Amino acid sequence: MQEEPEGTGPPGEVEEPGTLYMFLARLTDEGQKLMSDDPQRLNRVSQEVRVPGTQLLARYALLGQYDFLLIVEARDHQAVARLSLELGARAGLHIETLPAIPIGLLSEREPEMATPWAAAEPEPTEP
């Protein structure tokens, strides 16, 4: 029995917990025309596009400078970059990709990695 190369599990599924990414997306001029003709285009495209090592967890429409927020889990930067390019090209989106770090991980650090703003308070001096 031949083993599958690492990272080639079912399309669109992450084999083990990966990094969360936020896609902040704006419709391009072409994307606005596409969405006007087919309001369900983003839903359909986001269900059709499959990149191994990625999983689309949630989609939200936004008010403000961005039109959509997509929350993605991916095993590595290369996989999330491929997903971003494919979604952007097929749905007419300009996507800004941001890795997300759980807040709890920010407090779990080694003492030698402490940041200046987390330094201990100075000991009080006696009068």
**pLDDT tens-place string over residues 21-64:** 999 999 999 999 999 999 999 999 999 999 999 999 999 999 99
Q: What is the pLDDT of residue 123?
A: 59
Question: Considering the domain boundaries, does residue 123 fall inside one?
Answer: no
Rg of the chain on CA atoms, in Å: 20
Mapped onto helix, strand or coil, the DSSP state of residue 35 is helix
Which residue range forms the structural domain that includes residue 47? 19-102
In a domain, 3, yes or no: no
SS3 of residue 47 by DSSP: helix
The burial of 74, by beta-carbon neighbours within 10 Å (0-12 exposed, 13-18 middle, 19 or more buried), is given as buried
**Domain annotation covers residue 7:** no
Q: Tell me how far apart the alpha carbons of residues 93 and 67 are, in angstroms, rounded to a whole number.
A: 9
Taking only the tens place, the pLDDT of each residue in 64-108 is 999 999 999 999 999 999 999 999 999 999 999 999 988 887 776
Most confident of 11-15, 17-21, 33-37: 33-37
The whole-angstrom distance between residue 96's C-alpha and the CA centroid of its chain comes to 9
- What domain count does the chain have? 1
Confirm whether 88 is domain-assigned.
yes
In a domain, 113, yes or no: no
Whether the full predicted model's pTM is greater than 0.75, yes or no, is no
75 located within any domain: yes
Order the strands of the 54-61 sheet from edge to edge: 54-61, 68-74, 19-27, 93-100
CATH of the domain at 40: 3.30.70.920
In-domain check, residue 55:
yes
Domain membership of residue 96 (yes or no) is yes
Q: What is the mean pLDDT of residues 1-6?
A: 36
